[in-house]
Amino acid sequence: MPKTLRRLIYCSRNAIPGDAVAAERTIQDIVLASRRHNRVAGLTGALMFTHGCFVQALEGPRDALEDVFERIQCDERHRDVTVLTFEPVAERAFSGWDMEYLGDAETAGSQAAAAATLNGAFRQEARSADSVLALMRGVVAREKVWAGV
Amino acid sequence: MSALLDDPDTIASLTGGALEQLPYPVVILDRDLRLRLANAEARERLKPPSAEEDPCPPFASVLARSGRIPADVRLRILSCCGAEVRGRNAPGKHDAVFAMSPGHTIALYARPLGHDRWMVVLEDRRRGADSGMAAEENQCDTLTGIGNRRYFEEQLAGALREDDPDRQPAILVFDLDRFRAINDLLGRSGGDALLRAVVGRLRRATRDADQLARLEGDQFAVLQLNGHAADNLAARLVDLLSRPYLVRGEVVTVGISLGVARAPGDGDSAAALLHHADLALREAKEAGGQTWRRFGQSMADRARSRLDLESDLRKALVLGQLTLAYQPKVNLRTQTVTGFEALARWSHPKRGLVPPGLFIPVAEDIGLIAPIGDWALRAACEDATAWPEPLSVAVNVSARQLDDGRHFLAQVVASLRESGLPARRLELEITESALTRRPDEARSLLRELHALGVRISMDDFGTGYSSLSQLRTFPFDSIKIDRSFVSALDGDNDAAALVRAIATLGAGLGMAVIAEGVETSGQARMVAADGCTEIQGYLISKPIPAAEIRALLARDLSVALAS
């Protein structure tokens, strides 16, 4: 079982000290670091930052996910980490993305949907993992269209 | 040299044959942190895949596969290598030392070799020679790699010997809330994996100078030589260690409870500090867990007074300080007394009358409830023989007494035989919660007692978790509705509906239904209208000494009921 593919999705609240500019800079560092690490560990995924909250999807082998989650949990730049799903999956939803970043610019068209989805997610409402995944995939798909991929 | 060598000329010219011979692991990585070369020691320790399997495996998976290095140390090794590869700072700026276990560290040096290659040396450093190794075995917790209790006590004693007024050592002791339940859920090896993950976070949250130990089971301790910021660390640990874990594919949520004690104010010996940190931990636990407490003198005072209470209670039975008081139960239809409930009273020469709510839980904690129960049973049966037929006596039975069913049954039989009280005049009151621990054993015991002719009553009904099927399969003769429902009757329609439902249920099952805690004639009228058959409470009488029972029986109760 440890070799089977799993998907982890969690949401958390921003605790980066300082203003929005500091947060944006720190998040860019986080994204770069996580891309490097994920490439080595065989993980793919996406990180969304909106309404002061992080939502991250990570996919890969179970052990690698459990290892990286420990690092995520010890990061004091966020809090209220809420695990939405940690389930075996048949295929990757973000294959090709070491860590796609979806910030305010990317989620601009989905602000209202994102807020509603996040509210449900922190309350761990039923199917909130599915809603979050659909939201992230929707933004990624639109990104690809704009980029002409 | 190794078959992993991808560019023999370059590497060999850079390192020479010496690399292969070095007595510690040396690896060469590329820009993507893939393993390009491992010397003999590294191959022996890390067992990388052969060149056929994977010519340049990710260093991350090699470290993970080796199974020798905890996850948190692995991640820190990788991040140092990554920082060096990215050349953020001057070469060597990312060298680091990682604590593996007491007296065992790994020193990491990473250096660029040019040609997009980096050399990483991992040097094991163990304190002392062979004798030191033996001592380490005795002081290391093999499950998690941190120190054990012996190690911690030695470190703490050593820290306290240093006579430096600026250094005030502090200790933090914590355990996991509900670890037993989690162990049951995950299995033993899953529980062990959780403990290792806890230690991983503990290592990250502390500095290398902090001493870490697993004292026992799921209890851990941190020693800070300079404890000025111990409170900050306590808050950090409660936050970080109480965040959810992923263990063996499960999401595990567990809180920690933590106690802090600081020398010299909170104790100047290792034993005193550990004891006081433990008291603080208990307070955190009693506050609901997932929090921390700093030791305070009031905690020691409470612990002291609790010990005094326990000691006095142990003597109370032999010194004859325990007595029984009796509270009557009255049939609402006939308006006559049907029996009395025996209630334990403790009268201490200095403390005065100690409320049962205070001493009964203590008696349960220290294993005195069974002897007290045995005594109460005998004394109640003896007292009741002096009462006119068919008045009954009801005795409370604790969960602990049901645990040893054979002993309890023998006590009931002996009490009846020695007093000569007919079995039908003895009633045993059992709470719902006492039945939930081992329902099958309790059921067969109660059936045996019932077969003797003893009557069985369900006490405090509505406060526990009994199911309706328990009412049917247990041999109950009566149900006592908890006083909280009765006191809520004035103006609470829900309470009235519940009382009515319970009374209907009892009537349907052929049981007497007794309302407890009836204080006013209004409540008596309401529970009568709702279908209760008997009442007990201050309206009729408070619990009275055995000597006053005759006078009570002579009273006309219709006055109280009608007022």
Q: Which of A8, A11, A13, A63 to mutate to test the interface with B (most CBs of B within 10 A)?
A: A63
Residue B196 domain-assigned? Answer: yes
Q: Which of A6, A9, A40 to mutate to test the interface with B (most CBs of B within 10 A)?
A: A40
B56 touches chain A (CB under 8 A): no
Residue B393 domain-assigned? Answer: yes
- pLDDT above 80 (res B133): no
Q: Do B143 and B213 belong to one domain?
A: yes
Strand partners, B534: B331, B514
Residue B232 domain-assigned? Answer: yes
Which strands, in side-by-side order, build the sheet including B256-262? Answer: B211-216, B219-224, B170-176, B256-262, B291-294
- pLDDT tens digit sequence for B503-519: 999 999 999 999 999 99
Domain boundary among B126, B152, B182: B126
Residue identified by tokens 């839980």 is B361
CB within 8 A of B182, min separation 6: which ones? B176, B191, B194, B252, B254
Cα gap B266→B278, rounded to integer Å:
12
- pLDDT above 60 (res B120): yes
- pLDDT above 90 (res B454): yes
Q: Which of A74, A78, A84 to mutate to test the interface with B (most CBs of B within 10 A)?
A: A74
B342-360 burial by CB neighbour count: b if 16+ within 10 A, else e?
A: bbbbbebeeeeebebeebb
First-to-last alpha carbon distance for chain A, in angstroms, is 34
Cα gap B225→B168, rounded to integer Å:
7
Crossing angle, helix B405-419 and helix B439-452, to 10 degrees? Answer: 20
ipTM value for the complex: 0.87
Q: Do B243 and B280 belong to one domain?
A: yes
The identity of residue B234, as a single letter, is A
Could you give phi then psi for residue A7, rounded to 5 degrees? -125, 130
Q: DSSP letter at B289?
A: S
Q: Do A36 and B82 touch (CB under 8 A)?
A: yes
- pLDDT above 80 (res B143): yes
- pLDDT above 50 (res B184): yes
A29 touches chain B (CB under 8 A): no
Residue B302 domain-assigned? Answer: no
Q: A54 with A23: CB under 8 angstroms? A: no
Q: What is the CATH number of the domain that holds B210?
A: 3.30.70.270
Chain A neighbours among B 85-144 (CB < 8 Å)?
none
DSSP codes, A66-99: HHHHHHHHT-TTEEEEEEEEEEE-SS-SSTT-SS
A81 touches chain B (CB under 8 A): yes
Cα gap B280→B140, rounded to integer Å:
26
Q: Do B167 and B276 belong to one domain?
A: yes
Q: Exposed, middle or buried, B337 (CB in 10 Å: 0-12/13-18/19+)?
A: buried
Cα gap B389→B387, rounded to integer Å:
7
DSSP codes, B66-109: H--S-HHHHHHHHHHHHHHHHT-SSTTTT-EEEEEETTEEEEEE
- Rounded to a whole number, what is the distance in Å from the CA of A17 to chain B's nearest CA? 16
Q: Lowest-pLDDT range, B83-87, B194-198, B343-347?
A: B83-87
Cα gap B299→B70, rounded to integer Å:
38
- pLDDT above 90 (res B243): yes
- pLDDT tens digit sequence for B23-62: 788 899 988 889 988 888 888 888 888 878 888 888 888 8
Strand partners, A88: A6
CB within 8 A of B552, min separation 6: which ones? B328, B337, B541, B544
Give the count of Cβ contacts less than 8 A between chain A and B.
65
- Rounded to a whole number, what is the distance in Å from the CA of B280 to chain A's nearest CA? 25
Q: What is the CATH number of the domain that holds B440?
A: 3.20.20.450
Q: Do B122 and B138 belong to one domain?
A: no
DSSP codes, A119-143: HHHHTT-TTHHHHHHHHHHHHHHHH
Helix (H, G, I), strand (E, B) or coil at B46: helix
What's the confidence (pLDDT) of residue A96? 81
pLDDT range class, residue A147, cuts 50, 70, 90 = low
Q: Do B389 and B538 belong to one domain?
A: yes
Q: Do B245 and B391 belong to one domain?
A: no
Which residues in chain A are closer than 8 Å to B31, comparing Cβ atoms? none
Averaged over B207-223, what is the pLDDT?
93
**Assigned token pair, B226:** 């300079």
A1 touches chain B (CB under 8 A): yes
Q: Do B97 and B178 belong to one domain?
A: no
Report the number of distinct structural domains present in chain B: 3
**Assigned token pair, B443:** 């059921």
Q: Do B201 and A73 touch (CB under 8 A)?
A: yes
What's the confidence (pLDDT) of residue A2? 45
User: Shortest CB distance from A73 goes to which of B32, B243, B247?
Assistant: B243
- pLDDT tens digit sequence for B468-481: 777 788 899 999 99
pLDDT range class, residue B1, cuts 50, 70, 90 = very low
pLDDT range class, residue B467, cuts 50, 70, 90 = low
- pLDDT above 50 (res B532): yes
pLDDT range class, residue B87, cuts 50, 70, 90 = confident
Averaged over B523-541, what is the pLDDT?
94
Closest CA to B103 of B135, B142, B149: B135
Q: B152 with B54: CB under 8 angstroms? A: no
Q: Lowest-pLDDT range, A1-10, A60-69, B165-174, B417-426?
A: A1-10
Residue with more model confidence, B118 or B386 = B386
Residue B387 domain-assigned? Answer: yes
Residue B388 domain-assigned? Answer: yes
Residue B376 domain-assigned? Answer: yes
- Looking at chain A, which residue has its C-alpha nearest residue B83? A33
Domains in chain A (CATH in brackets) are 5-147 (3.30.70.100)
Q: Do B199 and B106 belong to one domain?
A: no
Q: A31 with A96: CB under 8 angstroms? A: no
pLDDT range class, residue B329, cuts 50, 70, 90 = very high
Percent share of chain B, pLDDT over 90: 52
Percent share of chain B, pLDDT over 70: 93
- Looking at chain A, which residue has its C-alpha nearest residue B203? A74
Averaged over A59-73, what is the pLDDT?
92
pLDDT range class, residue B131, cuts 50, 70, 90 = very low
What's the confidence (pLDDT) of residue A145? 64
Which strands, in side-by-side order, build the sheet including B117-126? Answer: B35-38, B26-29, B117-126, B104-114, B96-101
pLDDT range class, residue B466, cuts 50, 70, 90 = low
Q: Do B61 and A42 touch (CB under 8 A)?
A: yes
pLDDT range class, residue B10, cuts 50, 70, 90 = low
Cα gap B206→B103, rounded to integer Å:
17
What's the confidence (pLDDT) of residue A66? 92
Cα gap B227→B211, rounded to integer Å:
12
Cα B53 off chain centre by: 48
Q: A114 with A107: CB under 8 angstroms? A: yes
- pLDDT above 90 (res B283): yes
Q: Do A86 and B71 touch (CB under 8 A)?
A: no
Q: Do B44 and B21 belong to one domain?
A: yes
Q: Do A1 and B246 touch (CB under 8 A)?
A: no
Helix (H, G, I), strand (E, B) or coil at B468: helix
Residue with more model confidence, A71 or A104 = A71
Tally of CB atoms within 10 A around B265: 11
**Assigned token pair, B347:** 């009268």
- pLDDT above 90 (res B18): no
What's the confidence (pLDDT) of residue B11? 55
Which segments of B211-269 does DSSP mark as H helices, in order?
230-241
Strand partners, B107: B97, B123
Residue B306 domain-assigned? Answer: no
Cα gap B472→B511, rounded to integer Å:
11
Q: Residue B223: which domain range?
A: 130-295
What's the confidence (pLDDT) of residue A14? 92
Averaged over B391-395, what is the pLDDT?
97
pLDDT range class, residue B436, cuts 50, 70, 90 = confident
Compute the mean pLDDT over every residue in chain B, rounded to the nearest whole number: 87
Cα gap B404→B435, rounded to integer Å:
13
B540-553 burial by CB neighbour count: b if 16+ within 10 A, else e?
A: bbebeebeebeeee
Q: Exposed, middle or buried, A86 (CB in 10 Å: 0-12/13-18/19+)?
A: buried
Cα gap B461→A50, rounded to integer Å:
51
Q: Do B321 and B470 belong to one domain?
A: yes
Averaged over B321-328, what is the pLDDT?
96
Q: Do B419 and B284 belong to one domain?
A: no
Q: Do B105 and B138 belong to one domain?
A: no
What's the confidence (pLDDT) of residue B129? 45
Cα gap A113→A90, rounded to integer Å:
27
